[in-house]
Protein backbone atom coordinates (compact mmCIF):
# COMPACT_ATOMS: atom_id res chain seq x y z
CA UNK A 1 0.00 0.00 0.00
CA UNK A 2 1.50 3.31 -1.06
CA UNK A 3 1.64 6.06 1.57
CA UNK A 4 0.60 9.58 0.56
CA UNK A 5 1.59 12.52 2.80
CA UNK A 6 -1.09 15.26 2.64
CA UNK A 7 0.21 18.77 3.40
CA UNK A 8 -3.02 20.78 3.29
CA UNK A 9 -4.17 23.21 6.00
CA UNK A 10 -7.83 23.16 4.93
CA UNK A 11 -8.81 20.30 7.23
CA UNK A 12 -12.06 19.62 5.40
CA UNK A 13 -10.27 19.26 2.07
CA UNK A 14 -7.45 17.27 3.66
CA UNK A 15 -9.95 14.78 5.11
CA UNK A 16 -11.75 14.58 1.77
CA UNK A 17 -8.49 13.79 -0.01
CA UNK A 18 -7.53 11.21 2.63
CA UNK A 19 -10.88 9.43 2.33
CA UNK A 20 -10.67 9.49 -1.46
CA UNK A 21 -7.15 8.04 -1.42
CA UNK A 22 -8.16 5.19 0.84
CA UNK A 23 -11.06 4.25 -1.45
CA UNK A 24 -8.42 3.71 -4.14
CA UNK A 25 -6.21 1.56 -1.92
CA UNK A 26 -3.72 4.21 -0.78
CA UNK A 27 -2.79 5.17 2.77
CA UNK A 28 -3.44 8.89 3.32
CA UNK A 29 -1.45 10.57 6.10
CA UNK A 30 -2.44 14.10 7.12
CA UNK A 31 0.15 16.51 8.46
CA UNK A 32 -0.27 17.47 12.13
CA UNK A 33 2.41 20.08 12.78
CA UNK A 34 2.84 22.77 10.12
CA UNK A 35 5.99 24.05 11.79
CA UNK A 36 7.76 20.69 11.51
CA UNK A 37 6.68 19.25 8.19
CA UNK A 38 10.09 17.79 7.35
CA UNK A 39 10.21 15.99 10.69
CA UNK A 40 6.77 14.48 10.03
CA UNK A 41 7.88 13.56 6.52
CA UNK A 42 10.85 11.66 7.95
CA UNK A 43 8.68 9.87 10.51
CA UNK A 44 5.99 8.77 8.04
CA UNK A 45 8.34 7.79 5.16
CA UNK A 46 5.74 8.51 2.45
CA UNK A 47 5.94 7.37 -1.16
CA UNK A 48 4.44 10.63 -2.48
CA UNK A 49 3.64 14.12 -1.14
CA UNK A 50 0.61 16.30 -1.91
CA UNK A 51 1.70 19.89 -1.17
CA UNK A 52 -0.46 22.99 -0.83
CA UNK A 53 1.25 26.35 -1.41
CA UNK A 54 -0.56 28.61 1.07
CA UNK A 55 0.33 27.17 4.47
CA UNK A 56 0.86 28.49 8.00
CA UNK A 57 4.43 29.46 9.01
CA UNK A 58 6.15 28.71 5.67
CA UNK A 59 4.64 28.17 2.25
CA UNK A 60 4.68 25.00 0.16
CA UNK A 61 7.62 26.21 -1.92
CA UNK A 62 9.74 26.37 1.23
CA UNK A 63 8.77 22.86 2.32
CA UNK A 64 9.22 21.42 -1.16
CA UNK A 65 12.78 22.74 -1.25
CA UNK A 66 13.42 21.41 2.28
CA UNK A 67 12.17 17.93 1.34
CA UNK A 68 14.20 17.99 -1.88
CA UNK A 69 17.35 18.56 0.18
CA UNK A 70 16.91 15.12 1.75
CA UNK A 71 14.68 13.08 -0.57
CA UNK A 72 13.63 12.42 -4.15
CA UNK A 73 10.10 11.43 -3.09
CA UNK A 74 7.67 12.71 -5.77
CA UNK A 75 5.70 15.87 -4.93
CA UNK A 76 2.44 17.06 -6.48
CA UNK A 77 1.43 20.66 -5.75
CA UNK A 78 -2.24 21.34 -5.06
CA UNK A 79 -3.14 25.03 -5.14
CA UNK A 80 -5.79 27.58 -6.02
CA UNK A 81 -2.95 29.72 -7.39
CA UNK A 82 -2.74 29.15 -11.13
CA UNK A 83 -0.31 31.77 -12.44
CA UNK A 84 2.52 30.71 -14.72
CA UNK A 85 5.02 32.00 -12.15
CA UNK A 86 3.62 29.72 -9.41
CA UNK A 87 3.80 26.68 -11.68
CA UNK A 88 7.35 27.57 -12.80
CA UNK A 89 8.48 28.02 -9.19
CA UNK A 90 6.92 24.69 -8.20
CA UNK A 91 8.75 22.86 -10.98
CA UNK A 92 12.06 24.68 -10.42
CA UNK A 93 12.02 23.83 -6.71
CA UNK A 94 11.54 20.13 -7.38
CA UNK A 95 7.81 19.61 -7.79
CA UNK A 96 6.84 16.77 -10.14
CA UNK A 97 3.30 17.90 -11.03
CA UNK A 98 0.83 20.70 -10.36
CA UNK A 99 -2.95 20.52 -9.96
CA UNK A 100 -5.14 23.59 -9.64
CA UNK A 101 -8.01 23.71 -7.12
CA UNK A 102 -10.82 22.87 -7.39
CA UNK A 103 -10.03 19.48 -8.89
CA UNK A 104 -11.79 16.14 -9.25
CA UNK A 105 -10.61 13.19 -7.18
CA UNK A 106 -10.43 11.11 -10.35
CA UNK A 107 -7.91 13.49 -11.90
CA UNK A 108 -5.83 13.55 -8.72
CA UNK A 109 -5.81 9.74 -8.53
CA UNK A 110 -4.77 9.52 -12.20
CA UNK A 111 -1.85 11.88 -11.58
CA UNK A 112 -0.81 9.96 -8.45
CA UNK A 113 -0.93 6.61 -10.25
CA UNK A 114 1.06 7.94 -13.21
CA UNK A 115 3.73 9.45 -10.96
CA UNK A 116 4.00 6.33 -8.81
CA UNK A 117 4.26 4.21 -11.94
CA UNK A 118 7.13 6.31 -13.26
CA UNK A 119 8.88 6.43 -9.90
CA UNK A 120 8.39 2.95 -8.45
CA UNK A 121 7.18 0.72 -11.30
CA UNK A 122 3.76 0.98 -9.62
CA UNK A 123 1.95 -2.06 -11.06
CA UNK A 124 4.86 -4.39 -10.45
CA UNK A 125 5.33 -3.16 -6.89
CA UNK A 126 1.66 -3.57 -5.98
CA UNK A 127 1.88 -7.30 -6.75
CA UNK A 128 4.75 -7.69 -4.29
CA UNK A 129 2.88 -6.96 -1.08
CA UNK A 130 1.34 -9.29 1.49
CA UNK A 131 -1.35 -7.51 3.49
CA UNK A 132 -3.28 -8.60 6.58
CA UNK A 133 -5.51 -5.77 7.79
CA UNK A 134 -3.25 -2.76 8.27
CA UNK A 135 -0.11 -4.93 8.37
CA UNK A 136 1.76 -4.82 5.05
CA UNK A 137 4.88 -6.83 4.21
CA UNK A 138 6.75 -5.33 1.25
CA UNK A 139 8.52 -8.16 -0.55
CA UNK A 140 10.66 -5.79 -2.61
CA UNK A 141 11.89 -3.62 0.26
CA UNK A 142 12.06 -6.28 2.98
CA UNK A 143 10.13 -4.04 5.35
CA UNK A 144 6.87 -4.12 7.27
CA UNK A 145 4.40 -1.29 7.89
CA UNK A 146 1.51 -1.02 10.32
CA UNK A 147 -0.65 2.09 10.10
CA UNK A 148 1.83 4.94 9.94
CA UNK A 149 4.75 2.99 11.44
CA UNK A 150 7.49 1.11 9.60
CA UNK A 151 10.20 -1.35 10.60
CA UNK A 152 13.18 -2.71 8.71
CA UNK A 153 13.69 -6.46 8.92
CA UNK A 154 16.72 -8.71 8.90
CA UNK A 155 16.84 -11.46 6.27
CA UNK A 156 15.61 -14.09 8.74
CA UNK A 157 12.90 -11.86 10.24
CA UNK A 158 11.61 -11.09 6.76
CA UNK A 159 11.55 -14.77 5.78
CA UNK A 160 9.70 -15.76 8.95
CA UNK A 161 7.00 -13.16 8.30
CA UNK A 162 6.77 -14.08 4.63
CA UNK A 163 6.20 -17.74 5.51
CA UNK A 164 3.59 -17.01 8.20
CA UNK A 165 1.72 -14.20 6.43
CA UNK A 166 1.47 -16.07 3.14
CA UNK A 167 -0.09 -18.99 5.07
CA UNK A 168 -2.44 -16.88 7.19
CA UNK A 169 -4.61 -18.93 9.53
CA UNK A 170 -2.45 -22.05 9.22
CA UNK A 171 -0.04 -23.42 11.80
CA UNK A 172 3.49 -23.60 10.40
CA UNK A 173 5.81 -26.05 12.15
CA UNK A 174 9.13 -24.93 13.56
CA UNK A 175 10.77 -27.60 11.42
CA UNK A 176 9.40 -26.15 8.19
CA UNK A 177 10.49 -22.62 9.13
CA UNK A 178 13.97 -23.86 9.99
CA UNK A 179 14.23 -25.73 6.69
CA UNK A 180 13.26 -22.62 4.70
CA UNK A 181 15.58 -20.34 6.67
CA UNK A 182 18.65 -22.55 6.79
CA UNK A 183 17.82 -25.26 4.20
CA UNK A 184 18.46 -27.96 6.77
CA UNK A 185 17.37 -28.74 10.34
CA UNK A 186 20.29 -31.04 11.04
CA UNK A 187 22.90 -28.62 12.40
CA UNK A 188 20.65 -25.81 13.60
CA UNK A 189 19.61 -25.57 17.24
CA UNK A 190 15.93 -24.92 17.83
CA UNK A 191 17.07 -22.17 20.17
CA UNK A 192 18.40 -20.28 17.14
CA UNK A 193 14.89 -20.07 15.70
CA UNK A 194 13.50 -19.01 19.08
CA UNK A 195 16.03 -16.17 19.28
CA UNK A 196 15.02 -14.95 15.79
CA UNK A 197 11.31 -15.13 16.58
CA UNK A 198 11.74 -13.32 19.91
CA UNK A 199 13.71 -10.49 18.28
CA UNK A 200 11.05 -10.19 15.60
CA UNK A 201 8.29 -10.11 18.22
CA UNK A 202 10.11 -7.28 20.01
CA UNK A 203 10.20 -5.22 16.79
CA UNK A 204 6.51 -5.92 16.15
CA UNK A 205 5.62 -4.98 19.72
CA UNK A 206 7.45 -1.66 19.33
CA UNK A 207 4.95 -0.62 16.62
CA UNK A 208 1.87 -1.94 18.44
CA UNK A 209 1.70 -5.53 17.16
CA UNK A 210 2.01 -7.34 20.48
CA UNK A 211 0.42 -10.68 19.55
CA UNK A 212 0.78 -10.77 15.78
CA UNK A 213 2.76 -14.05 15.82
CA UNK A 214 0.90 -16.72 17.79
CA UNK A 215 2.68 -19.71 19.34
CA UNK A 216 0.86 -23.04 19.11
CA UNK A 217 2.44 -25.22 21.78
CA UNK A 218 4.21 -28.29 20.38
CA UNK A 219 2.96 -27.36 16.88
CA UNK A 220 4.58 -24.16 15.64
CA UNK A 221 3.58 -20.59 14.83
CA UNK A 222 0.81 -18.80 12.95
CA UNK A 223 -0.73 -15.40 12.23
CA UNK A 224 -4.49 -14.88 12.08
Edge-first strand order for the sheet with 27-30 is 27-30, 3-7, 48-52, 75-79, 97-100
107 and 138 together in one domain: no
For 27, left (φ over 0), alpha (ψ -120 to 50), or beta? beta
Q: What is the pLDDT of residues 156-188, one digit of tens each?
A: 999 999 999 988 888 999 888 888 887 644 456
DSSP state of 101: S
Helix (H) or strand (E) holding 49: strand 48-52
83 and 42 together in one domain: yes
189 and 98 together in one domain: no
Q: What is the pLDDT of residues 77-105, one digit of tens each?
A: 999 888 889 899 999 999 999 999 999 89
112 and 137 together in one domain: no
Of the three residues 104, 126, 148, the one that is the final residue of a domain is 126
Give first-to-last CA distance, the chain, whole Å: 20
87 and 44 together in one domain: yes
Single pTM value for the model: 0.56
**Based on the structure, what is the number of domains in the chain?**
2
181 and 211 together in one domain: yes
147 and 98 together in one domain: no
Residue 133 has pLDDT above 90, yes or no: no
Q: How many CB atoms lie within 10 A of CB 221?
A: 19
121 and 135 together in one domain: no
80 and 59 together in one domain: yes
Domain ranges, residue 98: 3-126
- CATH number of the domain that residue 202 is part of: 1.10.10.10
Q: How far apart are CA 30 and CA 50, in angstroms?
A: 10
Amino acid sequence: MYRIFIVEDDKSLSKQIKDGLEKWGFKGIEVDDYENIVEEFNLTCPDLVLMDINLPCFDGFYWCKAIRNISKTPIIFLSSRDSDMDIIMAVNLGGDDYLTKPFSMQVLIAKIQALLRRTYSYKEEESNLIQIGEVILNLNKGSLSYGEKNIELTKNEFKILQILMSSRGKIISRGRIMEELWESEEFISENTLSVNVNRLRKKLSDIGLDEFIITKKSQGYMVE
